Amino acid sequence: MLVAGSYATYALASRGMDPLLAGLLLMPVFFVIGLGLYQFYYLTFERRGSDQGLRGIAFFFGIAFIIEVLIILQFGVDQRSVTATYIGKAWRIGEMRIPFRLVVAFVIAAALTILLTLYLSRTFMGRAIRAVAQDQEALRLMGANPIRIKQWAFGIATAVLGIAGALLIIVAPVEPTLDRTYIGRTFCVVVMAGLGSMSGTLVAAIILGVAETIVLTLFGASWAPAISFAMLLGVLAVRPQGLFGRRS
């Protein structure tokens, strides 16, 4: 869905719309798509047995590959990019250049992280989303439907991918198979931060991003992806719950 967001942004930007505005407009669309996907997953997989975890992995990987094929059929395999006033320009600080597109992506990602953190910690629905993975029966006693809570959470996650896809294509050109590149890094960031920690996810992403950049500069591109998993294993050896996760 991340690359789908990028290509949807490209489709709107090619008609003259600003990529960031396109990403914001795609968020409610992706939210509705997420609600529908989870409902379909629940009806066909989750409520049918105890092996729902394995079925869920198979289901969502299948959806990812179907989306990839649809993107290839519609846009081909060539890289796509967008244009905007903040793409191609940079701040100069001495000998260092900081591209505007990276600053824009970082600011939007940080703001989105703060908003999601506040939502998950200050609202009933947000606290219910955090609680649904711990004790669904207790959640039912509080008058909340765990299935609806999970569907809402999946809708929010999918909506975020709308703006995330826009940021991705702002930062660099995209291609249909780019999702595969980010699956491993996403896994490393989430597990290293600790499940359920929004602010920790941002910090872990920055740590891994800086580490990959250093390794890329010193040892070449082939070693960069390995550092993420090496750091993940090191963190889990010391803190199995992740850097910001709570002990169970």
The answer for residues whose C-beta is within 8 angstroms of residue 163's C-beta and 6 or more apart is 5, 20, 23, 24, 26, 27, 108, 112
Q: Are 82 and 9 in contact (CB under 8 A)?
A: yes
Q: What is the pLDDT of residues 14-56, one digit of tens each?
A: 998 999 999 999 999 999 999 999 998 888 877 766 555 667 7
Q: Are 218 and 226 in contact (CB under 8 A)?
A: no
Q: What is the pLDDT of residues 7-25, one digit of tens each?
A: 999 999 999 899 999 999 9
Measured between alpha carbons, how far is residue 46 from residues 38, 127, 228 in Å?
9, 22, 32
SS3 for 156?
helix
Record the pTM. Answer: 0.83
Instruction: Could you list the beta-strand ranges (E) of the chain.
Output: 90-93, 96-99
Measured between alpha carbons, how far is residue 173 from residues 95, 117, 139, 165 in Å?
25, 29, 43, 11
pLDDT above 70 (res 155): yes
Measured between alpha carbons, how far is residue 226 from residues 68, 207, 240 in Å?
25, 14, 20
Which region among 34-38, 44-48, 184-188, 191-195 has the lowest average model confidence (pLDDT)?
Answer: 44-48
Distance CA 109, CA 111 (A): 6
